[in-house]
Amino acid sequence: MSVSTLKQTRAKILIVDDKPENLHLLSEALTKENYEAKGVISGEMALRVANSVIPDLILLDLMMPGLNGYQVCEQLKANSITQDIPIIFLSASNDPVDRVKALCAGGVDFIDKPFQIDEVLLRINNQLKLKFAQQEIQKLNAELEQRIQERTAQLEQANQELKHEIKEREQITQLFQASEARLESILNSLEEVVWSADATTSNLLFLNPAARQVYGRSVAELLNNPDLRLESIHPEDRDRVELSLASSFNPSNDLEYRIIQPNGEVRWVWERSRLIFDKTGKAHRRDGIICDITQRKQVESELSYEAKHDSLTKLPNRAAFIERVEEALTQSKRDPNYLFAVLFIDLDRFKIVNDSLGHLVGDELLITVAEILLECSRSQDFVARLGGDEFTILLDQVETIESGSIIAARIQTKLNYSFCLQGHTVFTSASIGIVIGNNQYQDSSEILRDSDLAMYRAKSLGKARHEVFDQEMYAETKELLEIENDLRQALSQNELTLHYQPIVSFDNNTLYGFEALLRWNHPTKGCLFPDKFIHIAEETGLINNIGEWVLEEACRQMYRWQLKHSGAADLKMSVNVTNQQIKNPNFLAQLKAVLKKNRLSGDCLNLEITESTLMDHQPETIALFNQIKARGINFNIDDFGTGYSSLQYLNRFPISTLKIDRSFIEGMLKDKENFEIVKMIISLARTLKIDVIAEGVENLKQLKILQTFNCQLGQGYLFSEALDSKSAEQLISQS
């Protein structure tokens, strides 16, 4: 079915996303493409709408309040009304585990956020093509069955009339002749082939003129040569047809097979036949009808090709690749010595090319890469495009893992050269994951999961390389999943706690304040530092709840200290906040509420941000920073020197303090370059009238150099490690 035909059907698309801006963007794009789009903001609404409207396809967000995408998908698949609706997941998560869970839940495809509208439309179109193709085939089969039934009924009626006339032919010869002529006229006018053959010898007894169109031979030629009918059948189908027709255990047969005409043309036919028994119960004749279904087979072939091939690169698509992997797994279970390999290929920085040079250049790059993959593969290998900039290759019959590495290296060598596309010089590279398939795997999803994990390992190690899957990768992913599940319960189970690392003033060796450091008292893994779980919290959206708790707990602790110790009134509490928290529309309101609730002045609180946060120099972000600064709250740039800051960004934002990353402090005694970097950062801060905190001060030599540079503040093991609240309070008391 063509794209225009699909759009004329006004397919109904249900969009489920808790972000109104996503609903608006997708609804507008789908409506422009002549789809009938309806958007809802929750899983509960999606279930109600799907049961009443019955959409042709559902775009389903993975992470939503209330019912999440997995739960909605499972309920839809459990409902007989909605179980056949194709579901495409949308998710901002790049976690391969989420992809596997989505497909296991019943999804047919998975699209990463932020999504590209063209990709979304392409995936929707592919799924609708497949769905409507299946419906079209069912319709064709139903029409054919109806025609056959009508023709069979006509033949049965004609046979009844003929039998009746034969029975009375001695008395009514004239009536018999008329009936015979009438039957012959009916048979001669039929487009279907009607035949009758001896049940014992299979020699033809009768054949109507329609046989000429199917066999390409005259009726006389077929009747005079008893073997010609079977000889005309395609050699690959001949034994099956002959065995079926000769069997007396099959009183009725339905067959599809091919006939080769004398000119070489191949015709597909559908044949139904049945044995005719005499009064003694002995089979003496087999009657049948043959329909030419060549056109239907061509339509099925075209629809099958479209459903299993990518329209852009003409490579097999995800569905075809999964089918091929399942075949390889089946073979590996039959033959323990059979090995195959799967390469998962993801282009590096493709989005940059697509966004900066346009979709035409991006499409041409994908086509070029597809050609390179075919060129680098062997003739027996299976190259496919999963979607977007992801490709896969199944290497058939490999000896060792080196076979996959050789192909991967060959691909990366080809991609080292530039491409001239639409007048632009384009460079690209690929991260490739390799997995060896064997009979230990249960299904294709496990193969794709492990090759995807290996690809992400290659990407995390610097891109433009290939990595071979090992069980350590799976164990790491499994552990991340376990941490994610446990992290969702950590807040409610009171497993999170704060430690406080003192910040010291170098001028008079007095306590300046504390940095609140998050710790997770995991029930089985012990005390976990943020580097083990913060990135998971950011990916899953839990960071906002955790960040709000940290801010609340740090301010509550500061208020307690101020109540008990007069010296705590001037102390500062530094709290790390992520870019996601700052982008939360309620962040400013949260700050106000926390300060008010704990009766704290804003100048007691320092918010520590990363340099990457400064890259978001939108006017509304700068305005938010100024609003926060107006309440007396200061901003510190954490780990300064490791990110992407520039003087331009430092001037735009109301920054109070730079925190020099511990790696520079640690290296300045033995590396002149680090020494100069520390000196330059302090000089820069002094010029901009910004304070400096040195992180990771561990010995007196480092302290002396920092004092020489006029660094005001520092923290590190030289002064104190991070303390629990009780120990920190003792330090305040001693100070």
pLDDT the model gives residue 1: 46
- The pair phi, psi for residue 286, each rounded to 5°, is -125, 125
The CATH fold assigned to 480-734 is TIM Barrel (3.20.20)
Does the N-terminal peptide bond of residue 55 adopt cis geometry, omega within 30 degrees of 0?
no
Q: What is the pLDDT of residues 553-573, one digit of tens each?
A: 999 999 999 999 988 989 999
Which tokens go with 473?
């990768």
Q: What long-range pairs does 292-299 form, CB within 8 A, spacing at least 24?
A: 292/191, 292/192, 292/213, 292/214, 292/267, 292/268, 293/144, 293/256, 293/268, 293/269, 294/266, 294/267, 294/268, 294/269, 296/140, 296/144, 296/268, 297/268, 299/136, 299/137, 299/140
Neighbouring-strand partners of residue 58: 14, 87
Nearest CA to 675 out of 694, 656, 654, 655 is that of 694
Predicted local distance difference test score (pLDDT) of residue 241: 87
Query: What is the per-residue pLDDT across 494-545, written as a single tens digit (0 to 9) for each?
Result: 999 999 999 999 988 899 999 999 999 999 889 999 988 888 888 788 889 9
Task: Specify the pLDDT at position 166.
Answer: 65
Cβ atoms of 450 and 93 closer than 8 Å: no
Contact 76, 82 (CB under 8 A): yes
Q: How far apart are CA 172 and CA 102, in angstroms?
A: 75
Pull the structure tokens for residue 365. Answer: 């790059």
- Contacts with 24 (C-beta within 8 Å, 6 or more apart), sequence order: 39
SS3 571: coil
Q: Which CATH number fits domain 3-137: 2.60.40.10, 3.40.50.2300, 3.30.420.270, 3.20.20.70?
A: 3.40.50.2300
- How far apart, in whole angstroms, are the C-alpha atoms of residue 61 and residue 63? 6
Report the pLDDT value the prediction gives residue 175, as an integer from 0 to 100: 46
pTM value > 0.75: no
In the chain, where the domains are located: 3-137, 190-298, 309-469, 480-734
- Domain 190-298, CATH among 3.90.1150.10, 3.40.50.2000, 3.40.50.300, 3.30.450.20: 3.30.450.20
CA distances from 163 to 179, 278, 346, 533 (A): 10, 14, 72, 86
Q: Answer for the pair 255, 289: CB distance below 8 angstroms, yes or no.
A: no
Looking at residue 598, its pLDDT comes to 92
Which is nearest to 288 in space by CA: 151, 143, 146, 142? 151
pLDDT at 187: 55
CB 14, CB 50: distance < 8 Å? yes
Closest CA to 370 of 311, 296, 433: 311
The whole-number pLDDT of residue 647 equals 61
Q: Which region holds residue 551: left if phi is over 0, alpha if psi is between -120 and 50, else beta?
A: alpha
Helix, strand, or coil (residue 465)? coil
For the record, the structure tokens of 614 come out as 């400064």
Single out the residue of 96, 95, 91 nearest to residue 113, CA to CA: 91
Other Cβ atoms within 10 Å of 402 Cβ, number: 12
| C-alpha gyration radius of the chain | 37
> What's the fold here for domain 309-469?
Alpha-Beta Plaits (3.30.70)
If the chain, 735 residues long, is cut into consecutive pieces of 10 residues, what is the mean pLDDT of each piece? Answer: 51 91 90 90 90 90 89 90 89 81 84 86 88 81 82 79 69 48 57 83 85 89 88 91 74 86 92 86 86 89 87 93 94 90 92 86 94 93 94 91 89 90 89 88 90 88 87 74 85 92 92 95 91 84 91 95 90 93 90 93 92 74 90 89 62 88 90 90 89 94 93 94 94 87
Tokens of 415: 């991609």
3-class state of residue 57 by DSSP? strand
pLDDT at residue 390, rounded to an integer: 95
Collapsing DSSP to helix, strand or coil, 675 comes out as helix
The pLDDT score that the predictor gives to residue 131 is: 83
The per-residue pLDDT for 7 is: 46
Q: What's residue 180's pLDDT?
A: 52
Tell me the helix, strand and coil percentages in the chain, rounded to 5: 50, 20, 25
